[in-house]
Structure 1
């Protein structure tokens, strides 16, 4: 599989929603001032409508994308009936969003209770907020794919396409697999993989790109001295892979690093 023009256009549109939503929510967080109980309620009034709007935008874009994808594959137009309330807000986790977005504040309070500096406590809270918001945006996407997929019997499976300049090794491994559309879920908090519904005359099997899968495991083993097909001995979510690094090809780093070249990466020997 590879990204088509339609995929890229859809990916860019969703990326724009992510950037706008996360930017506005982050600015609200940093501008609170005290992060006490009263600020929780102020944050809810300001940020929750922005988050819900972002989720609904992602869901609408995803439904439209899948309609166009179906037309390209099947040759016929197919309009879907999607209730946005079933793929956004409380429907994402079956938990009140107000409770979910109180968790970054609890992160700050817990850190302060452990005598962590205020700046560090706020950084932890901001990171928790970003992770939750990204996950909810991706959940809006995956829930929509599941709902819409049920209305598109021509599509049987889902595959993941990598969009970013950098992706975690776990997502890269997932991109070598096929999944049943009813089993679709985000790979990890903050995952932004593009999800495609696909059809096949016969089941291609779980692994659809054996060569790429082995290259990923070999690269991890070369860098760390070990790899793990079961994903327990090595946390593949924390291994960052540059998808295209010019003449070098894929290079590895670790979550939290922002690298631009081989000299910026420190791998254990």
Structure 2
């Protein structure tokens, strides 16, 4: 299903927040002169407010987007009163965000204690930081969907719409499913699927697009020699798939690669 203008505006706005927050936190990280406790605390003082502000932006954009969606089926719907403190910050993990953003530094210390060179240890910390930020921005979105959905009784389920030129295979599998609106959770850090609340007169069942589901598993099996219905034996998050290639069908690759055809994706 093509994305509506509303979907596109919302997706663009959220990606803009992600880009800004990730860019500013990365800049702060790269500006560190050392990774001792004092530097960690200074980093947290600079960046945690940026991340929290990003979470609130994502939550506000999501609530506004869902309100507009709901007005399409109920033009008398009231505005949603969203408590931002309930869908951001400590509410996301049950842990103080300042403690959460100690973890990249703990990652460095643990790596160094295992004999990992400093440069490699710092890279591990940087990767942990990026994963934490992406996850928290996602959690702000999913928590908001759950909270807002409570005030929208005509919405019964959530579905995921794919947005990117490339999506990971796990997201494509998820896009073939329906989820109860209170059970929504992030798929993986970096997932940019558009979450939509939908109406239904009756439960359509877990799988709502059997054809797409079978196509993605077949594409994975054709490329790698096996597929996995649970997406566990094979890490579907690492497999990229084009959403639209009219000539030759789905093309698979691995994250970090750019490719031109099936011959370019042989696993190492």
**Corresponding residue for 1:58?**
58
Calculate the TM-score normalised by the size of structure 1: 0.95
Calculate the TM-score normalised by the size of structure 2: 0.95
Structure 2 residue runs of 5 or longer lacking an equivalent are none
Q: Is the 8 A contact 1:80 1:151 kept in 2?
A: yes
- The alignment status of 1:266 with 2:228, answered yes or no, reads no
Q: Is the 8 A contact 2:80 2:148 kept in 1?
A: yes
Mapping 1:211-230, distance limit 5 Å: 211-230=211-230
Structure 1 residue runs of 5 or longer lacking an equivalent are none
Q: Distance in 1 between matches of 2:210 and 2:141?
A: 27
**Corresponding residue for 1:35?**
35
Superposed CA deviations along residues 54-90 of structure 1, whole A, max 9, x for unmatched, are: 0000000000000100011333343001000000000
Q: Is the 8 A contact 1:223 1:268 kept in 2?
A: no
Q: Distance in 2 between matches of 1:26 and 1:133?
A: 10
What count of residue pairs does the alignment treat as equivalent?
268
Mapping 1:1-269, distance limit 5 Å: 1-245=1-245, 247-255=247-255, 257-262=256-261, 265-268=264-267
Q: Is the 8 A contact 1:70 1:76 kept in 2?
A: no
SS of 2:207's partner is: coil
Coordinate RMSD, CA, aligned: 1.6
Q: Is the 8 A contact 1:132 1:190 kept in 2?
A: no
Q: Is the 8 A contact 2:159 2:175 kept in 1?
A: yes
Q: Distance in 2 between matches of 1:253 and 1:76?
A: 47
Q: Is the 8 A contact 2:160 2:175 kept in 1?
A: yes
